[in-house]
Every structure is written in C-alpha cells, then in structure tokens.
Amino acid sequence: MTAEKREPISVQIAYRLNSSGKVDTTNKTLRITTMSQIPHGNPHCPLQNNQNQIPSNPKFLKQIHDFCTTTEKPNPANWSYIIRNHLSQGSPAKALLVYTRIRRQGIYILGLLPLILKACASLSCVNRGKALHAESIKSGMNSDVLVGTSLVDMYAKCGQVFESRKVFDYMPERNVVTWNAMIGGYLRSGDKISALFLFEKMSMRTSVTWVEMIDGFARSGDTVSARRFFDQVPQELKNVVVWTVMVDGYSSNGQMEAAREVFGAMPQRNFFVWSSMISGYCKKGDVKEAKFIFDRIPVRNLVNWNSMISGYAQNGFCEEALNSFHKMQAEGFEPDEFTFVSVLSACAQSGLLDIGKDIHSMLGHRRIKLSQIVLNALVDMYAKCGDLMNARLIFEGMTERNTVCWNAMISGLAIHGQCKEALELFGRMEDSNERPDDITFISVLSACAHGGFVDEGIQIFSKMEDYGLVAGIKHFGCVVDLYGRAGRLREAYALIKRMPIKPNDMVWGAMLGACRIYMDMEMTEKVVKDISTLNSNVGSGDNSHYVLLSNIYAACDRWEKAERMRIHMISEGFEKTPACSSFVPSGT
C-alpha cells in the first residue's frame, strides 16, 4: 500500500497592525492551505475543525500542547497557536522554548519566523534573532516583506540600529509598516536626525507614522518639535491615538498646562489619555488635581484605577491608596499585578505589615503571576516593615534578581541594623550579573555609617568610579556621617571642603551632629563660619541647624550663645516641629 502523496503545507498568517505600527502577531487569523487542498489531518487534533479561526481558551491551549508533544509530526497550526498564546500572555521566553523544541524535531515552519522574531525583540535576544535571520536567508524568506519588517523591528528593539538599517536597505520591497519600524528604531535610539530624514522621504504616511514622530520627539524631551508634528497631522489622520500621544508627551515631561490644553480640545477621549493626565499630575505632586481628573472619567477601567492608586502611593497618601484599592474591588474590578505593586508600596511606606501580609495572601488566592515586579514589591514591603525573615525567604527564592530587588533587600538590612549582613549582600551583588547603582551605594554607605565600618565605607565609596557612577550629595552626606559617627571630625570636614558640589542641609547637619556628640567646639565654630559665609541653609527655612547649635552651646555651658540661637529662631519665625508617631489600634 503506497503512502498518500501530500502537497507541502504552508502557513499563511494575516497580520494586523498594532498602535505602534509594528506587526501585531498576537492579533491575527491563521489559515492552513496547500497548493491544492487542505489534507486530512489527525482526527484527534484539537484544531481539525478550527482551521479558519482559532479560539483563545486555556483548556484548548493545553489540549493542543499535549497533542503536539505526543504526536510525531503535528500540524504546523498547532505550534503557531501555542507560540501566539505565549506571546499574547507576555511569555516570549516560553515561545522561544516551543520553537526550540520544533527545530530539534527537524521541523522548519517558515510562517513562525515573524512570531519568533517578535519574541526575540521582547527579550532583547539579538543573538537568537541573528540565527533566525540566517535561517530566513537560507530559505529565501528574507525577501518577504513581512519577514523583513520583523527583522528591522527586532534589530531596532535590540539596540542594533545599524543592523536594522542594513536589513531595511536590502529589502526589495517595503511597505509603510517597514518605514514606521525603521523610524521607530531611530527614535528609540535617540537619533532624531535619521528618523526625520526617513520621515521626509516617505511617499505615504499613516496615523502610526505621525504617532511615532510625535511620541519619539516627546520622549526625548523635545515637546516643541512634537507639537509641530502634531499640528501638521492631516485632519483625516488625527485620530484619538494621535491626540493621546500628544497629551502623554506633555504630561510625561511635566508640562501639565499644555497637556490640559490639548486634553480639553480632544474631540473624544480613550481610557489611556485619562490615565496619562492622572499620572502627570501625580508626578508633579498635585494629587488633588489628579483626583479631580479621576472623578471626571465617565466610565473607568482598571488602568484608570491603577493610575490613581499608584499616584497616591508615590506621593505618600498610603491610606487613600488602600481605600481606593478596596473601593475598586467593590465596584467589580479585579486587581492585577500593577495594582498589587502599588498597594504593597503603600504598606511598605506606612509600615502596615499585617495588611501587607493580607495582600500577599490575596496574590495566591487571585492566582496573580508572581512576576519580578511583584516579587520586588514583596521584598521591599517585608524589608521596610522589619520582617526580614520573610523578605529574605522571598529574595533567596527568586530565580532572577534585578538591581531594584538587591537594593530593597540591602536597604532593609541597613535600616534595621543588620549592617554586616547588608555589606555581605552587597558583596554577593557585585559577584552577580547585576551592577550596583547610585541607590545601592547610598544604602551600603548608610549601613557602614550605622555599623561603624569606616574603612569598608571609604573603600566602597571609592568603587563608585569603577562602576561609572558619579557621587551625588547624598553619597557625600553618608561619608561625612560615616566619619562623624566614628569621631573623625577632621576628615569629615576636609571631605566637605573638597567636595565638587556645594554642601547642603544634610551634609552640614551630619557635621554639626558629630560636633554635638563629641563636644568639639573648635570644629563647631569652623562649621558655623562656613555656613554663614556660604549662606547655606542657616536662614533658609530649616531650623535644624539652629537647634543643633543651641544644644551644642548649652552642653558646653555657653549659655549666652545658646540663648542667642534661640532668640534668632524666634525672630525668624521658626518653630520647633513636634514629633509624632502613628499606630494602628488592634482589631481595626
């Protein structure tokens, strides 16, 4: 009995464009065709009766995955479906693993190239992208406009703009999506001149082209040019996305009056533009105006709630953030990972450990994916609330740690007096693939100051240059405090004198605090003279230095000078800020 001869299967994918003008491989219809007819497939294949339109259903995906892994040569559409679902769910790494499994079986499906190139772009996996590029050349698919456009986009998003342009130049055919991808690549790399050159050469532009230009120039801080492009957009192309990008450009740069003007002129508004206005006002610290905008939204979605809750948390309105979190759920909205990150931040700032633990439990009950940002937020919450054991358990259990995670754990150890452990963790961070940033050094230097590790602190401070970091005023303040706490006032003062930046309130406060501890009147007089000469902060509205000086003089029985400081404070209208504490009554 002879085997049935079948025509080779080709997978044809009809792609749509997303809002950035790139190939949207998560939103398309997949069809399977042959030169003559669709061959009869395996009757057990879940896709046998779904060849024209593939449903999105988790159970259906599992059926396909099981079928693919147990069938010797499964239908190409099954693999395509699995890969597309991984991409749509934000799991490009899983998509690459599936493709690797396909290739190991000796199967090569040309229609998967754009999908896998998208995964490479998401992961900045340029080496894998280059291998796929080589495959496309061998198969002759590199001349296909869809594959070529995906390559241009992949190289650009991986920061290889030169390679992206090479592919662009060698393409025998380009469409407007190709041009948009190349322009977007240039703008993301900060090359506005090359982007403008291509823009002016385009024979046809879409609304996406204008969006790329407006957004790209606004992200670089050039809102004047962005507005000029916005004003040039033909009326038939000026849709809600174009308006939204202009509003977001202004709000991202803190220009809220201009953002409000464009926002007010919008013929229609989408969910994103409301959120952009809320976020813009919150970044400026104007939470009241952000709440006013939020209350005006006719129909809210989860993104709007997340923007408001995040704004509250970022500005220290922790109680309001938690209240909004509960109100959002009462209105029927299910919190996502971004909601939980903001709420955990509110708990961390206010030290609400019990509520933070409840939020942690909710993550499991709601089956929220424990992504890196969620795990970072949990580490930060537990560390700041003093539950270092749980913070360390989560930290050590993470398969990947970024700088934010390391900083949260190091800072938590330093704040709660485990200075030696903070230094040991910093050493582990140096041995890892993550580079310390300026925040890391502030936390470590603070740990050295509180733990009395003077020599270690000076050595760590000198490492900043090795990492390409420039010491800021906070770093110098930590080192001054380090010297001061150890009684090395002369070295602290010498550091202040040779600082490349003007000492501020924190630096002089650390110096005067050390003078008070060690009752060094000679050094105190020097510091007072320098402060007066530099006109720095004494008389600036901060009365902490007057209080310190008065206390130093009083401790040294120089009552006349102490009284003079107090009188000066009264004449300047300064009042001692009363201390306060917060507590949560049990049972509330």
How far apart CA 546 and CA 121 sit, in angstroms, is: 57
Residues 459 and 541 both lie in one domain: no
CB atoms closer than 10 angstroms to residue 112: 25
The helix/strand/coil state of 152 is helix
Q: What is the pLDDT of residue 231?
A: 96
Buried b / exposed e along 119-143 (16+ C-beta atoms within 10 A): bbbbbebbebbbebbebbeeeebbe
How far apart CA 129 and CA 573 sit, in angstroms, is: 66
Residues 532 and 457 both lie in one domain: no
Any domain includes 540: yes
> What is the number of structural domains in the chain?
3
Residues 25 and 119 both lie in one domain: yes
Any domain includes 45: yes
Residues 1 and 119 both lie in one domain: yes
Q: What is the pLDDT of residue 341?
A: 96
How far apart CA 98 and CA 114 sit, in angstroms, is: 14
Boundary-marking domain end, from 74, 103, 123:
123
Displacement of CA 140 from its chain's centroid (Å): 39
Q: What is the pLDDT of residue 518?
A: 83
Any domain includes 27: yes
- What's the domain range around 546? 496-571
Residues 458 and 550 both lie in one domain: no
Residues 26 and 113 both lie in one domain: yes
Q: What is the pLDDT of residue 25?
A: 37
Q: What is the pLDDT of residue 135?
A: 85
Residues 464 and 501 both lie in one domain: no
* One-letter identity of residue 247: V
Any domain includes 23: yes
- The answer, as to whether pTM is greater than 0.85, is no
Residues 559 and 441 both lie in one domain: no
Boundary-marking domain end, from 66, 101, 123:
123
Residues 527 and 466 both lie in one domain: no
Q: What is the pLDDT of residue 93?
A: 87
Residues 56 and 97 both lie in one domain: yes
Any domain includes 328: no
222: exposed, middle or buried (C-beta count within 10 Å: 0-12, 13-18, 19+)? Answer: middle
Boundary-marking domain end, from 85, 104, 123:
123
Contacts of the segment 342-345: beta carbons below 8 A, 24+ positions apart: 342/306, 342/309, 342/310, 342/312, 342/313, 343/309, 343/313, 344/374, 344/377, 344/378, 344/380, 344/381, 345/313, 345/314, 345/321, 345/377, 345/380, 345/381
How far apart CA 192 and CA 401 sit, in angstroms, is: 34
Any domain includes 1: yes
Supply angle C-alpha 209, 215, 221, rounded to 5.
140
DSSP 3-state percent helix, strand, coil across the chain (nearest 5): 65, 5, 30
Residues 463 and 506 both lie in one domain: no
Residue 469 · residue 438 · CB < 8 Å: yes
Q: Which are the contacts of 241, defined by CB distance < 8 A and separation ≥ 6? A: 19, 207, 211, 270
Buried b / exposed e along 501-520 (16+ C-beta atoms within 10 A): eebbbbbbbbbbbbbbeeeb
How far apart CA 412 and CA 459 sit, in angstroms, is: 22
How far apart CA 115 and CA 112 sit, in angstroms, is: 5
How far apart CA 447 and CA 426 sit, in angstroms, is: 11
For residue 32, what are its two tokens? 């399977």
Low-confidence stretches of the chain (pLDDT beneath 50): 1-64, 67-71, 536-541, 543, 557, 588
Any domain includes 172: no
Any domain includes 88: yes
Residues 509 and 456 both lie in one domain: no
Q: pLDDT for 240-268, tens place per residue?
A: 999 999 999 999 999 999 999 999 999 99
